[in-house]
Chain A
């Protein structure tokens, strides 16, 4: 759907040359939510602005649905941009227009008749959950409501792609979640491809299917969100994963955990993309005559299922315990026996 071929952007400043995006290549599938994460200054904003050519590339190509955006004439580019929605960290609404008029603006640009505009705007207001606020001015709205207007406006011309530049970074956690839910909702309802950039890993975790990690203008790691979460390779990626999973360096605490138990086994269960982690524990407790104790754990939900680990203590008569273990091992989790008492 979107192909990015060795895209580069150099900025010439008075004193030096900044390589904001450096020979970057990516492929983004139709209908997916693709996240790009990186620290401030990594080049994320420049990258997303290259996609609709708010910034012209120094070299490389952006191809959307077979159309080479980078080689379009000014006029063709304007038409193509009507098929690419964009939302911003600071919403960028026109304060002189009401909610309704803001959402109608891209329709005016596309030359849609007034009657059709009104009908479409009403539809969009319903879609983003702003019914009743049509005639408010942006200054009368909360941050979350402003971003909803931004989203409605971006969707007005039925785009193929939605670009989100730190769309939730100016919002509080609850509002962030509601906006992310809305994005998932429109992704599913409309089959819209979403490219989202952020410096917050929890945003990636909550809504992205795939993720690319950016550092110094380059993609240093990419893949399915679950894979990247469970097997981060680069140091930056590991740091971002720690943002949501906490520090995984638990050697000491493991030893500390095991000292109290004279009997039974201590095992560590790794869940990756497993949505029934809780069910597994209760099944074991029901079906086998064992005591099962959760000692420590952290499980996080991603768009592609749960990811995390649990450390549990299992005790019981030898046979029962062994069959319980066998049962657990047959389930789609990775099992690691941490400590085998007697």
Chain B
């Protein structure tokens, strides 16, 4: 496409000022009703030799004459009204230039980040379908359709191959569509085989089926792609009640729980620092394999004695003792386990089968979630590290790229613990060992800054808490302007996407999930269709009847 051809969208006005940092000021043509402009809309600015792509970050009403503010003219006179609206008052758009398409090079290189600004009076148009397609590409083997821009029917695709190279985040306050968006991303990763997924599915929303405020239930990954997804569970009964049996029942042995896991649970179990630290001392005393079982077997008297012999504050130790007892209520915790659960997960992942771990009845037990996610992830990560190192750069021997999805991510990545926990490590080391995170959270301000800044792509639904907005926007160029876009998103199913997987920040209405049509578009085939397909394939193979 020649970048100097006429832009396709509606004419909006001309550039009248601005800067690359603050954004370009565009005087809106009086013919364009200001109400039709919206934050987050995309515009194309035609410079002399470049075409700029930008996003509307603010809309201002201006007057060239201060007296009309104090004494508004008589608008009942149609002549006066019509003249004032096109002269003394006008609207300006603030446009953040994001990309520049330079001459014929755009065809080869694609859009580049804007490093300069269009000249005064350059004409500004709304981005049209063709423009959006040029910037965001078509859906193909690495691009996955996530939604549509606010004012166009065009599909916005994100580059999943780029996406899984780093850890990413999905944010938004409760009920804004994080889970639905995450589910779509997981489907995308599955379909494009960009990586394998391991999902810690606290609320049982991803595996077999999910819930929806509107329609009750929606299909989970297992229903859509039965042969590519395995559902693991911590709770046998949960599956049985729903008439489905999990592919594997995960158990955790006392012997597998380490003092580090307790450290992660500090907040959830309401332990003081001293109490959590005591776990390390106790483990030193009894030995890694047996410490928890033996510690929990002690009675009050014995705990008291232990505190003296290992020289730990007595109150702290007995609190620790009390709180850890809660863990014994979890049915999935057994006396002794080998790492079989971990091995089984890895076996599935190695075959390219995506694993969703459902928590069943423990869905409201944050301690169970944190404990299991942390414990399994630590082991899986360490296998990945070993295997990656053994492969010594031989791509064929490397383990498949793995994306681990965690909800309530701030519980794992809060500033106090992110530097010590496995999740913090994974977030920081990027894709060094082929493992990345997909963190899902409604309180991003609770996540360590450094972790936030390592996230490659962020998809944020509506956030209204200032601190959360700040956290999501930290370190982003044009953050100030984008914040206003973020806080004005629709309360559902709208998301601002920015980072490595998209060429520029964009607001999308997230693709619908939950209708039969949506399932079909995601490649789901009903059993009857599958049969027909098989028959057709057989006909092809053996010749028709």
Question: Are both chains from one complex?
Answer: no
Chain B positions within 8 Å of A, measured between CB atoms, are none
Chain A positions within 8 Å of B, measured between CB atoms, are none
